[in-house]
Each structure stands twice: as structure tokens, then as C-alpha cells.
Amino acid sequence: MEVVVAAFDVDNTITVRDCVVPFMRRTMGTPNFLRACVSSPVQLVQWVLQRDRDSIKAYFVNAAFAGRSVDEIESDGVDFASRVAESGMRADVAARMRWHQEQGHVVVLVSASLDPYLVPFGDLCEVDAVLCTQLEVVDGRYTGALVGQNCRGEEKVKRLHAWMTEAGIPASSLVYAYGDSSGDTALLAAARIGVLVKKSELEEVAP
């Protein structure tokens, strides 16, 4: 029997909105988040104009997490994931994900979201794997750096293919992929069926 993999982006695909900024604001507190926004305005504006999302994320990750306790942040992540699972998911995409699970497909989240909340979110959704942007930890505290690259664009495909290879699943088993933005273009192109999720609801799939 052929293994079928269905890969899902998360922010604005499974969820109704971005999760990265709300989570960082939660962990930092809004005043600290706003201070981070204005502390290096010239550099931030330059990155925005260059559409350098990786540098922007690295900057805010350092501001939000450097020196913070893993236990503290992971506790916030579990609570945040629960809230998203309860009231922050698109009903149509969640239904499509459940359909894939009912068919016995391998469901993987592939996202630029952050691991402290996305891993528990994946557990709540009962997916087979969570591949995402990871925060570096040393001696029980976050360093403020990322482990490897921000998980967007081509990095999503690299992470997914590496995981499939390790799991003994051929690359040809990537049949479905779902995403909503330019950061998902490579992932959608790598699948046999790439679904660009828009504001209109996905059609229900026959049982």
C-alpha cells in the first residue's frame, strides 16, 4: 500500500491568523515588544523594504527569548497552543486535515512557526510530525538564536524531505501540500497536488 503524505503550513492556512507575533507579544509583554520595534528602526525598515523575513524573525526571536527559561516559555507555549486549537483554527482546513488522517495518510505540519507552541499544537492535532523553526537552548535557557534556518520557502522542502528519508518514506509519497503564501510556493510545487488556501472555504471531500 502506497504511503501518502499530506503537508500543511500552519499560520493563515490551518489557523485563522498569524501565530508568531501574538506568541512573542505574549511571552515578552506588549510594552517590551513595542520597545523592540522602536529600538532599531532604521535596520527594521531596511529589512522590511528588502522583504528580509529571516532577519526580522531572528531579531525578534533574540529580543523575545534570549536568556529566558525553557520551562517558562514551554508552559506559555502549551497554553497558547490550546487556545489556538480551541478557537483559532479554520474549520474547513481542520476538516481537510482530519479527512487525511481518516484516510490513513501521514500528516505533517511544516511551518515557520516556533517550536515552543507548534509542537504541543501538533500533539493536540495528533499529526505525525512537526517541522518548524526551532529555538536554540543551552543549559535550560534559550540563547535567542535559531537552530538552523527559518523554516520557510525552500527550507520547508528540505526539512520535509529529510524527515521523510529518515522515516523511510520516498519523496514521491508527498502527494498533498497546503499553504497560503509565497513562503509555501516551493512546498506546494514539491507535492503532486499543491493547494493554495485562500479566503474561500475548501470544498468538502467525499468520504
**Other Cβ atoms within 10 Å of 152 Cβ, number:** 23
The identity of residue 123, as a single letter, is D
Biggest alpha carbon–alpha carbon distance for the chain: 56
- Count of residues for the chain? 207
Dihedral sign (CA 108, 105, 154, 49): negative
Least confident range from 38-42, 59-63, 111-115, 184-188: namely 38-42
Question: What confidence category does residue 88 fall into, taking pLDDT thresholds of 50, 70 and 90?
Answer: very high
Cβ-contact 186, 176 below 8 angstroms:
no
- Residues 164-194: pLDDT tens digits? 999 999 999 999 999 999 999 999 999 999 9
Region of residue 140 (left: phi > 0; alpha: psi -120 to 50; beta: else): left
| Overall fold of domain 5-196 | Rossmann fold (3.40.50)
pLDDT of the residue at 198: 87
What is the spatial distance between Cα 60 and Cα 75, in angstroms, rounded to a whole number? Answer: 20
Cβ-contact 37, 21 below 8 angstroms:
no
Predicted TM-score of the model (pTM): 0.93
